[in-house]
Chains A and B, each alone.
Chain A
Amino acid sequence: MKTRSFLFLTILMVLFGAYPVFDSSVANAAQTNTLSGEIPIGAVWSLTGDAAVYGPSQKNASELAAEQINKSGMLGAAKIKLITEDDRSTKEGAITAFDKLIKEYKVVAILGPTLSNSAKAADPIAQAAKVPVLAVSNTAGGIVEMGDFIFRDSLPEMLVQPNTIKQTKNKFGYKKVAILYGNDDVFTKGGYDAFKKALDDQGIKILATETFNKKDSDFSAQLTKIKGLKPDAIIVSALAEEAASIMSQARQLGIPASVPIIGGNGFNSPKLAQLAGPAAEGAITGAAWLITNDTPGNKAFVEAYHKKYGANPDQFAAQAYAGVYILADAIKTAGSSNPVAIRDAMAKIKNLDTVLGKFSFDSRREPVHAPVVQIIKNGQFVLFK
């Protein structure tokens, strides 16, 4: 009797122990076929505040992508429900937006936030809640290092600038350069760090390193000093407004057009050519995306974006657009709207066709795709050859 009851109990325990495993495998199999309903995806952009120049194009592009995905039936019966929140370009705003998206809307993944420092403040909340985050514009260091749920599709400058320096060096053969950068902004400071490393690695001499602050408008002191040193090229890591003033003033001070100005990610704005006018001619910058790229779907994206919003997309728009497609692909592969399953599927993405080109994540969840070098000709960015 005793052994029988023991046996019975053991069987019961094994059954109960196996039950959850059995149950979840069934549920997963069922979900593969029945991905349905609305899948909530959060998006946190800087639509107001300091970074409001970047946020709106990200919002537009992500909404366009979600609309196209839903129309195409890429996810079968399921539809993406994009929930956009504004972080007011502040860390506090990003933290509360993440909180709201995760706890109230129960989103399966989050795109954004726009700024790297906001990401550093808010991403750990998603990491702790096991909700994947796909950053589409954070280029600073220390983003994906926050945890295994944090991804990005925006090439960090550390990956873009070595290529820029290499290509321009081959063309112009410069040996000594001067650097001018904004040291009070994460974006431009990160660009400087990347340039410095690339220049050191490729044995190019840095004659001088000059700095300025955001919203400065007079750069004549720094540029006069640089002019006296006669560099072969000038490296500028600045946001579009300051970069435009720097270029106009450099040419006004008589730095010849034969000295090319090479810029960081901040140059990647149509504003640059608008503000600097003829002085912007010949400005070179490395980028993750170029409007004339012949990557799959890029032409259709540019046309659809222009049709819907009446303006050309910029790099931030392209990266946000690609981001939604990357997430959708991960959801499709996972066949489930479970955040952990989506994370696992996203980590395995290799050679996905996006507007950025063939896209993969490396083992650290950093993006892998070919950067481009572009030059301003007649007020437009064209491929640098």
Chain B
Amino acid sequence: MFEFLSNNISTINFVLINISLGLSIYITLATGLLSLANAGFMAIGAYTVAIIQTQTHIPFSFGFVMAIALGVTLALPIGIVALGLRDIYLAIATLGFGEIVRIIALNGDKVVRLFSTNKDVIVFNGAEGITLAYKTPTIIFGLPDTTWPILIYCLVAIYILATLHNSRYGRILASIRQDETAASTLGINVARYKLFAFVLGSAIAAGAGALGAPIVRVVDPHNYVFSRGVDILAYAVLGGMTHWVGPILGATVLTSLPEALRFLKDQRDIVNGLIIMLSIIYLPAGLADPRVWTIPRKLFALLGSMRSSARNDSKGL
């Protein structure tokens, strides 16, 4: 067990980060919003931590809090403006936001130099990005000290979303997803709840980005391009968008499957794609489809009936 953990610790780290990212897009999807801004907020979190760590001596924990705070502060005005849009238009607007963040990160130094006395100051370092110093992780209770924060963060995010799911808030969000007009006729302030979901999702993404920075260590704009946003969306789509277990399953499968299939060498991508394709075809509502959950129960019932019929048979003999 310990050997498995230490051999695969980097995969486990990435699974945990991706679960947090999957959860961040799940909360907006569960409200019926197709927002693709998560990669952008992840970049904001990662850059905040990276800049604080390279430019100042402030400890990481403070940088992490700052990252989430900055995520929330930016998500509020953007949410107020962008959430006036619906469906695909919201997706386009939030996608644009992600590109803006990437281009700011790419050209950030030009802006910094305008306000700085040092004309060669390097903060964002353009395409090369910020490289954080490598520290050999110390093992605490069987896990490296870099893994613990992500694990705890992930569990907290799951706890919040699971509590939300069964609360009044969760039901309101679901009602907005199912029928926005009907929800508003029931006296629900749709705009406010949408903003709440958007800000919560952005904050989770910013936190995940911040915790991911010390693991990947190289924070460059290329990490947070459009395809990252699509990857995050895929976690929720494969896992299922209606229950918080969905993105957890989706992120775990999509992140660990390519690693688990490394032994297939050249055929890896084919098998990986095939598995994902089959699960989309046969489980259109995602891996967390309630129908999937009933399969073990049905199997169990089937086994039970077989056993009892076998017993009856033996009785008959």
Q: Which residues on the B side are within 8 Å of A124 (C-beta)?
A: 134, 217
Q: CA of A48 to CA of B14 in the docked complex: distance in angstroms? A: 19
Cβ-defined contact, B128 with A117, below 8 A: yes
Q: Which residues on the B side are within 8 Å of A81 (C-beta)?
A: none
Q: Which residues on the A side are within 8 Å of B136 (C-beta)?
A: 128
Cβ-defined contact, B131 with A142, below 8 A: yes
B-facing mask of A147-186, CB < 8 A → 1, else 0?
A: 0000000000000000000000000000000000001111
Q: Which residues on the B side are within 8 Å of A88 (C-beta)?
A: 258
Residue of chain A at shortest CB distance from B11: A96
A-facing mask of B39-55, CB < 8 A → 1, else 0?
A: 00000000000000000
Considering only CB atoms and an 8 Å cut-off, how many residues of chain A contact the other chain?
31
- The reply on A95 being an interface residue by CB < 8 A is yes
Q: CA of A185 to CA of B218 in the docked complex: distance in angstroms? A: 14
Q: Which residues on the B side are within 8 Å of A84 (C-beta)?
A: 265
Q: 8 Å CB contacts to A: which residues of B122-167?
A: 126-129, 131, 134, 136
Q: Which residues on the B side are within 8 Å of A125 (C-beta)?
A: 134
- The reply on B223 being an interface residue by CB < 8 A is yes
Cβ-defined contact, B127 with A120, below 8 A: no
Q: Which residues on the B side are within 8 Å of A99 (C-beta)?
A: 7-11
Q: CA of A230 to CA of B131 in the docked complex: distance in angstroms? A: 39
B132 → chain A, closest Cβ, in Å?
Answer: 10
User: Quick one: which of A95, A142, A146 has the most chain B CB within 10 A?
Assistant: A95
- The reply on A2 being an interface residue by CB < 8 A is no
- The reply on A227 being an interface residue by CB < 8 A is no
Q: Do A121 and B216 form a contact, CB below 8 Å, given A183-B106, A184-B106, A184-B221? A: yes
A159 → chain B, closest Cβ, in Å?
Answer: 18
User: Quick one: which of B107, B127, B220 has the most chain A CB within 10 A?
Assistant: B127
A76 → chain B, closest Cβ, in Å?
Answer: 28
User: Quick one: which of A85, A91, A100, A183 has the most chain B CB within 10 A?
Assistant: A91
Cβ-defined contact, B218 with A121, below 8 A: yes
- The reply on B61 being an interface residue by CB < 8 A is no
A191 → chain B, closest Cβ, in Å?
Answer: 11
Q: 8 Å CB contacts to B: which residues of A77-113?
A: 84-86, 88, 91-93, 95-97, 99-100, 103-104
Q: 8 Å CB contacts to B: which residues of A181-213?
A: 183-186, 189-190
Q: CA of A86 to CA of B259 in the docked complex: distance in angstroms? A: 10
Residue of chain B at shortest CB distance from A211: B107
Q: CA of A92 to CA of B7 in the docked complex: distance in angstroms? A: 15
Cβ-defined contact, A91 with B127, below 8 A: no
Q: Which residues on the A side are within 8 Å of B9 (C-beta)?
A: 99
- The reply on A127 being an interface residue by CB < 8 A is yes
Q: Do A183 and B126 form a contact, CB below 8 Å, given A100-B262, A117-B220, A124-B134? A: yes
- The reply on A250 being an interface residue by CB < 8 A is no
- The reply on A346 being an interface residue by CB < 8 A is no
Cβ-defined contact, B218 with A86, below 8 A: no
B-facing mask of A207-242, CB < 8 A → 1, else 0?
A: 000000000000000000000000000000000000
Q: Which residues on the A side are within 8 Å of B222 (C-beta)?
A: 117, 184
- The reply on B87 being an interface residue by CB < 8 A is no
Residue of chain A at shortest CB distance from B106: A184
Cβ-defined contact, B220 with A186, below 8 A: yes
Q: Among A48, A91, A117, A190, which residue has its beta carbon within 8 angstroms of that of B269? A: A48
Q: 8 Å CB contacts to A: which residues of B213-246?
A: 215-218, 220-223
Q: CA of A121 to CA of B215 in the docked complex: distance in angstroms? A: 9
* Interface contacts beyond A103-B6, A189-B126: sample of 8 additional A-B pairs, CB < 8 Å, sorted by A: A48-B269, A91-B216, A96-B259, A99-B8, A117-B128, A121-B216, A121-B218, A184-B106
* Interchain residue pairs A-B with the least CB separation, the first 6: A124-B134, A121-B218, A99-B10, A103-B7, A189-B127, A120-B218
Give 12 pairs: A residue, B residue, CB < 8 Å, sorted on A.
Answer: A48-B269, A91-B218, A95-B215, A96-B10, A96-B11, A100-B262, A104-B7, A117-B128, A120-B218, A184-B126, A186-B128, A189-B126
